[in-house]
């Protein structure tokens, strides 16, 4: 049990995890920026802006993860895309509900004009720790890697 725990925790103390955080931040920044552009500049609804930004930033994130963080995957690119999308779309309801919960909460706390951007920042970080392991051991798996 201790060996498993040690190996599990060491996944987060690696150069690969630092690259994952960098790629995730770039993807999140593209998501956040696109949502603001869709909502404030193109006058799309809040929910449509959120969804469009999420989908477009998935493309950005996938390219970064595939080429920077997990370049040595043994899985075909097609299967990587399928698994990546499965993971991300499974988190979409969590992020979407979190956004719609936090936005009025921050507005009620006095951040009315900035409640959406602040809520968006929070919900983009929610799935990060879990998705790292899902990407590493499922979406971009390398045959030699496992936690056991």
pTM above 0.75, yes or no: no
Tokens of 102: 């936090």
- What string of pLDDT tens digits covers the 148 residues of the chain? 677 777 766 666 778 888 988 998 899 899 889 999 999 999 899 889 988 998 899 999 999 999 999 888 888 999 999 999 998 888 888 888 888 999 999 999 999 889 988 898 888 777 777 787 788 878 887 765 655 5
Of 18, 139, 130, 13, which is closest to residue 68 (Cα–Cα)? 18
Mark out the alpha helices in 11-142 (DSSP H runs): 15-36, 46-64, 77-106, 115-125, 128-134
For the chain, percent helix, then strand, then coil, each to nearest 5? Answer: 80, 0, 20
Residue 106 CA to residue 100 CA, distance in Å, equals 11
């Amino acid at each position: 049990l201790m060996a498993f725990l040690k190996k599990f925790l060491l996944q987060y103390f690696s150069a690969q995890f630092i690259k994952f955080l960098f790629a995730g931040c770039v993807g999140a920044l593209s998501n956040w920026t696109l949502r603001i552009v869709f909502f404030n500049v193109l006058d799309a609804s809040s929910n449509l802006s959120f969804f469009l930004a999420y989908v477009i930033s998935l493309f950005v994130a996938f390219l970064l993860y595939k080429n920077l963080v997990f370049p040595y995957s043994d899985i075909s690119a097609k299967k990587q895309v399928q698994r990546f999308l499965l993971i991300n779309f499974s988190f979409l309801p969590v992020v979407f509900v979190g956004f719609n919960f936090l936005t009025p909460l921050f507005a009620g706390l006095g951040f009315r004009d900035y409640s959406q951007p602040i809520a968006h920042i929070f919900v983009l970080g929610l799935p990060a720790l879990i998705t790292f392991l899902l990407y590493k051991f499922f979406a971009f798996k390398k045959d030699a890697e496992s936690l056991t």
